Structure 1
Amino acid sequence: MDDALGVAAGQGEDEFALGIHGARDCRRRTFCRRRAGLLHPDGGRRRMGGVQPTHPRSTSMNMKPMAALAAGLLSIGLAGPARAETLVGLTTTNQLAVFDSAAPTGASALVQLTGLAVNERLLGIDTRPSTGLIYGISSANRLYTVDASTGAASFVAGLSAAPADATDPFAGLQSLAIGIDFNPVPDLGMSLPSLRVTTSAGQNLRINVNGAAAGQVTTDVPLNGGPGSPSIVASAYADNDRDPATGTTLYGIDQATDALFVQNPPNNGTLGLVGALGVDTSGVAGFEISGSGLAFAALTDGLTGKSSLYRIDLASGSAGLVGAFGILGDTAIAPPLLDIAAIGAVPEPQSLALLALGLAVVGAVTRRRPA
């Protein structure tokens, strides 16, 4: 990106102006020479001893460098990585706040959730890859969709054991500390159970959110394989996209060891250590891996009760601090974050600037092109 800017910036001001105005000046000079009798009607230049062919610069030739520059700027602007994501946070106070992952202190004003029963709380949320809808699981074992802008929670179904699950039928959540995330692979078909829920009590569940089967829960093998008793309080799938050829990996944050684990295979609940977070977290935590591959965790300090946003390195498990969670810049009034969900990418400012410059150059080239 800097190299491309350097090429444009390194071009002299006169050269840049010539690139835009050269064709117009060329036509003007050609017209004047013809009127003065310096050009032969067939395009040659009149000289002693005959006509010498000339090769006047064409508009298309002058526009080629500008078109190339415009194409380069546009490609950089469009292909520039999304360095931030728009996240919606669910708080322990049954409220929502939207914020840029690059500036978690500047979250929007809190929006109260509505549509829930008295004393019912949402425990976790996630954005469904195939539809973009936000789903949530409540303390009353109910499935909802959630409008992040209004806070309206719409009832979908109550959670119940899937009819075919006779081995260990679901009887309810055994913990209020849960991890929730859609598996993007089965979700594409919009028929199979794709919403993964793990609990700090070791439950490993798959929930169907489709049609008449919505709310049906398949109980998989309990979480196992970690040191001691696993206490996974936040889960997220990688490669969260709509490409059927892309696989996925399930990760979980364990509060007992303050470490990142991979759950593979997910249905078997087998945990494998990735690495230590380097942060002491409580059971109040949220985890999200966006469609662009960025991994974020909202981790809450057990002593202060304050949440902060971290970037998670999926290769090492380490958590890098982004910033404290705050409402309109105030961290003192911000309640703890119970979960987070990505709802869109935010292009980095430099990419937006290049895109705007590219569009401006395209406009200039188009205006100068003859009919």
Structure 2
Amino acid sequence: MKTTVIHQTFATLTTVSLLTAGVVHAEANGGLTAIGLSGDKTLHQIDATTATVKASMEAQGVTKLLGIDLRPATGQLIGVTDTFEIVEIDATTGATTVISTMDTPLPIEGDAPVIVDFNPAANKLRFMSGTTNHRVDIESGAVTVDGSLAFGEQDMHAGEAPAIVAAAYTNSFGKPEKTAMFDIDSTIVALIQQTSPNDGTLAAIGKLGIDGSDTYAFDIATDAQGTNTAWLVAGGKMHNVSLEDGSVQQSWEITGADGVALRDITFMTAQ
């Protein structure tokens, strides 16, 4: 049974809430809206076309969110709490509804980054930290412990310890027949492909070409035509990243955030 948490009205950056259903999804004029996560549980509505934070709110009924992601099959905004509850987040109010609790906790060392991202083809949640690699059925909370993250034997970084801090899947619109998983490694500051997500096998694609950052937020936005656009937030900027060679193609300073460091981001493209 789902448990609904009673919520409070949140303060936005404007006098009228901008987090309405009409702007949570891509607007008719081509606008693209993302939801970013900072601090323990602060959510930010971001206009990706201008790299501008339009509104902010606190998620209600939780102490901390480890990460957030769009569930492409349903269009739900999903979060995972520090007690391993899987919650649906109302993007208009910040209210949270408990869906399930994971039956196996994820080992997390200190403030190590945690990856929360949906495999759109399997409709399962990829949940990782350090080299630990879990796959989760969010309806039941059942966890499958998959292979530890490691560079493939033929990769140039074989034998090195990976430092995966963010991840995203392609084709995250509806329920596609196929998808591919890409990660960010903070040690080599590069794009990595998780060529076998369940086995944890990693293959370096290429360096981002930017300075390293204390936090990284990464997602791949997929539109109704199946076009994938990789977005990275690092160093106070939004970047477009090539999935072919890993290089940053364009960058924009984020405005309206007052120096907030985003540690996760998801693009609300599902319909």
| TM-score range for the pair, normalised by the shorter chain length | 0.7 to 0.9
Distance 1:321 1:281, change over 3 A: farther
Distance 1:275 1:208, change over 3 A: same
Which string of whole-angstrom CA distances, capped at 9 and with x for unpartnered residues, describes residues 175-211 of structure 1?
Answer: 4402221111112xxxxxx101221x1111111112x
- Which residue in 2 is equivalent to 1:312? 241
Question: With structure 1 as the length reference, what TM-score do the two structures score?
Answer: 0.58
Alignment of 1:287-366 (within 5 A): 287-292=218-223, 293-299=228-234, 301=235, 307-327=236-256, 331=257, 333-344=258-269
Residue 172 of structure 1, aligned match among 106, 109, 125: 106
Question: With structure 2 as the length reference, what TM-score do the two structures score?
Answer: 0.79
Mapped contact 2:217–2:265 kept (Cα < 8 A)? yes
Q: Does 1:114 align with 2:39?
A: no
- Which residue in 1 is equivalent to 2:182? 251
- Using the alignment, how far apart are the partners of 2:84 and 2:40 within structure 1? 18
- Using the alignment, how far apart are the partners of 1:282 and 1:218 within structure 2? 31
Distance 1:279 1:139, change over 3 A: farther
- Using the alignment, how far apart are the partners of 2:31 and 2:186 within structure 1? 26
1:320 deviates by: 3.3
1:343 deviates by: 0.8
- Which residue in 2 is equivalent to 1:208? 137
The size of the alignment, in residue pairs, is 231
Mapped contact 1:102–1:322 kept (Cα < 8 A)? no
1:207 is aligned with what amino acid? V
- Using the alignment, how far apart are the partners of 1:324 and 1:92 within structure 2? 20
1:143 deviates by: 1.3
Alignment of 1:224-243 (within 5 A): 224-225=150-151, 227=157, 228-243=160-175
Structure 1 runs (4+) deviating above 6 angstroms are none
Alignment of 1:1-371 (within 5 A): 85-104=32-51, 106-116=52-62, 120-161=63-104, 171-175=105-109, 176-187=112-123, 194-199=124-129, 201-210=130-139, 213=140, 215-225=141-151, 227=157, 228-244=160-176, 246-292=177-223, 293-299=228-234, 301=235, 307-327=236-256, 331=257, 333-344=258-269
Mapped contact 1:287–1:340 kept (Cα < 8 A)? yes
Distance 1:270 1:83, change over 3 A: farther
Q: Which has the larger radius of gyration?
A: 1
1:83 deviates by: 6.2
User: Hey, which of these two has a bigger chunk of strand by percent?
Assistant: 2
Mapped contact 1:198–1:235 kept (Cα < 8 A)? no
Which string of whole-angstrom CA distances, capped at 9 and with x for unpartnered residues, describes residues 36-73 of structure 1?
Answer: xxxxxxxxxxxxxxxxxxxxxxxxxxxxxxxxxxxxxx
Mapped contact 1:88–1:342 kept (Cα < 8 A)? yes
- Using the alignment, how far apart are the partners of 1:243 and 1:89 within structure 2? 23
- Structure 2 alignment gaps of length 5 or more: 1-27
Distance 1:110 1:208, change over 3 A: same
- Using the alignment, how far apart are the partners of 2:102 and 2:175 within structure 1? 29
Distance 1:253 1:287, change over 3 A: same
Distance 1:82 1:280, change over 3 A: farther
- Alpha-carbon RMSD across the aligned residues, in angstroms, is 2.1
1:324 deviates by: 2.3
- Structure 1 alignment gaps of length 5 or more: 1-80, 162-170, 188-193, 302-306, 346-371
1:221 is aligned with what amino acid? G
- Using the alignment, how far apart are the partners of 1:102 and 1:132 within structure 2? 21
Which string of whole-angstrom CA distances, capped at 9 and with x for unpartnered residues, describes residues 235-266 of structure 1?
Answer: 0001112354x311000001111000000111
User: Hey, which of these two has a bigger chunk of helix by percent?
Assistant: 1
- Give aligned-pair identity as a percent: 30
SS of alignment partner, residue 121 of structure 2: helix
SS of alignment partner, residue 182 of structure 2: strand
